[in-house]
Amino acid sequence: AMGRGRVAGVALAALGMAACLVVLAMKMREKSTGGEDELLLKVDLESHDPYSAPANLYLWWGPSTNHRFTGSGEHIRHLLHMGIIEGGEWRDPMFLGNNGVATFRSQRFRKISETCCSTIVIPPMEWDFPVYNTHKMIGQRIRNYVANGNMLVLTGGILSIEFINSYFFYTIEPADGDYSPGPYRRLEDVPDCMRVAPEVLPQKGISVTAVKKDSLPSGTEVLWGTPRSSPVFMIKFCEAQSPDEGMPPTKVLPRDCPLAERDGRPCSCGYIMYIGYNYQEQYPTRWDRVLRGAVEIMNPSYSTPQRGYKGNKEVVIPGTPPCLQKGAKEYDWPNSGAYSTSKVPKANLASQPEEKKESRGRVPNALARADQKIDAQQKEIDALENQVRTLSEQREEAAMRRAGAASSESLNQLKSQAHQLLHEVHAREARRSRKQNTETSLVKAVSTLSKDVENIDTKMNHLTKIVSARHKKVVDKYGIPNGNA
């Protein structure tokens, strides 16, 4: 028993000495490095400042929202730090549609739709879908809300797309098979407040519903996407006064707003944001930052984060491996990865070509002869390339000359045809003028003949009067009747 106690004591003493040595080593390392390890641990951590939702943010809390503890609506409410517990439920002055109030038919939404610069976030529509006549008062009020300089943020999937198509008269289509595998990369020209979100967004099972890029309307800005689909986009929706007096405002495409303004009907525009994630996962995800960035677009007191924005990473283009390099190509195959020299400065390359080391025997001579052969072949290739270039230039010049000759011949033909046409026109005009001259001469002759006939008639009338007067005198004097005269 005493032997066992001694052994246990020795073991405890050894453990104590080892712990003391570890503590001393850590302290000496901290003194030598000046606390660099602690900085290395914190360098990649982001600041966790207390978050508060913008003052102009409303949250749809109507019958279509899943209010349960693990529902998507509860996740978004928790993410935006909105609501307080009252009467066993979450309540907030910025909730819309809570306590059974019909959101779009309420007087509160009517007042909000007539003002500017607010945001409404609609969580995924899991329990209900708002159905109204799109051409009557409620449907027009939904469009007026967006067009009056506000933003409507819809999350979820198919029902959100159907809401946009129904009330804003679009034909947006989901991706083929209602599924897009991703990943979705952020575009360069996104709003600054959206740069707080990650550069790449993943597809989480079937939680993300993307749409076809070809079906997006005019005035759409794709924020994240693949070459064919997009799960996050923003539509600019505009309205202008109707040309018919007394009618509600009409939808106008953003590209047609200058024409409407020239007609005396200036446009008023807002935005529709679509985020195709269903927010059913209760753990923090990359998609949370997308929603937080979206609600900051209309924030009047938005400020840039202290650590700035994360820019898009430079696209890496594989370079040429050293084994395949020929001629005067620069070395662009660093050990850390394949980068193109057009993207990365040569000073940042991780490695440089090694100098050739001398070796014994016949190997150096063989290498020298191989290098000479390669150089000779390269020179031949360069000479052939120059010949091909000169031949192509000569061919282009000959083609240009042939084209010039053909064009000159066609011009001459056109000129001759034009001269013939002008000659025919002049001949026709001359014949027409001669015809007109004969007609005028005939008209003059007929007019003179008619005048001569009139003169003859007057003279005949005068002679008739004279003869009748003389005959009357003879009858009166001698009494001779008219028949014997």
Quick one: which of 204, 200, 226 has its CA closest to 213? Answer: 226
Q: In terms of Cα–Cα distance, which of 277, 233, 278, 295 is closest to 82?
A: 295
What number is the average pLDDT over the span 383-387? Answer: 87
Give the relative orientation of helices 287-294 and 72-80 as an angle to the nearest 10 degrees: 60
- Residue 230 tokens, joined: 């997009």
Q: Which two tokens stand for residue 435?
A: 């015809």
DSSP 208: B
DSSP state of 319: -
Least confident span in 71-75, 330-334, 451-455 = 330-334
Choice among 15-29, 105-119, 318-332, 440-454 with the minimum mean pLDDT: 318-332
Q: What's the rounded Cα separation, in Å, for the pair 339 and 346?
A: 10
Contact 124, 67 (CB under 8 A): no
Give how far Cα 395 sits from Cα of 205, 385, 406, 407, 450, Å.
59, 15, 16, 18, 82
**Mean pLDDT in residue range 30-53:** 55
Q: Distances in Å between the alpha carbon of 434 and those of 58, 408, 420, 431?
A: 91, 39, 21, 5
Answer for the pair 78, 283: CB distance below 8 angstroms, yes or no.
Answer: no
Q: CA 312, CA 315: separation in Å to the nearest integer?
A: 9
Q: What is the pLDDT of residue 346?
A: 44
Bond preceding residue 183 cis, omega within 30 of 0: yes
Would the pLDDT of 223 be above 90?
Answer: yes
Burial of 438 (0-12, 13-18, 19+ CB in 10 A): exposed
Residue 327 pLDDT greater than 60, yes or no? no
Q: End-to-end CA distance of the chain, in Å?
A: 203
pLDDT of residue 336: 40
Whether the per-residue pLDDT at 37 is higher than 80: the answer is: no
Residue 199 pLDDT > 70 = yes
Place of tokens 């002055």: 93
| Six-digit token string for 158 | 């198919």
Report d(CA 182, CA 460) in Å as an integer.
117
**Segment 153-181 mean pLDDT:** 93
Give the tokens for residue 127: 């329990």
Q: What six digits make up the tokens of 155? A: 């999350």
CB neighbour list of residue 480: distance below 8 Å, 6 or more residues apart? 474
Three-state SS at 212? strand
pLDDT in tens, 206-216: 999 999 999 99
Does pLDDT of 40 surpass 70?
Answer: no
Helix (H, G, I), strand (E, B), or coil: what is residue 121?
A: strand
With a cut of 70, say whether residue 462 has pLDDT above it: yes
| Mean pLDDT of all residues in 135-164 | 93
Q: What confidence category does residue 255 fall into, taking pLDDT thresholds of 50, 70 and 90? A: very high
The correct answer on CATH 3.40.50 for the domain covering 57-294 is yes
Instruction: Tell me which of 52-66, 73-87, 91-105, 284-298 is least confident.
Output: 91-105
pTM for the predicted model, two decimal places: 0.57
CA gap 420, 44 in Å, rounded: 87
Mean per-residue pLDDT of the chain: 79
Residues 6+ apart with CB under 8 A from 415: none
Q: What share of the chain is helix, strand, coil (3-state, %, to 5)?
A: 45, 10, 40
Q: Compute CA 69 distance to the chain's CA centroid, rounded to the nearest angstrom.
A: 39
pLDDT reported for residue 231: 96
pLDDT, one tens digit per residue, over 424-438 is 888 888 877 777 777
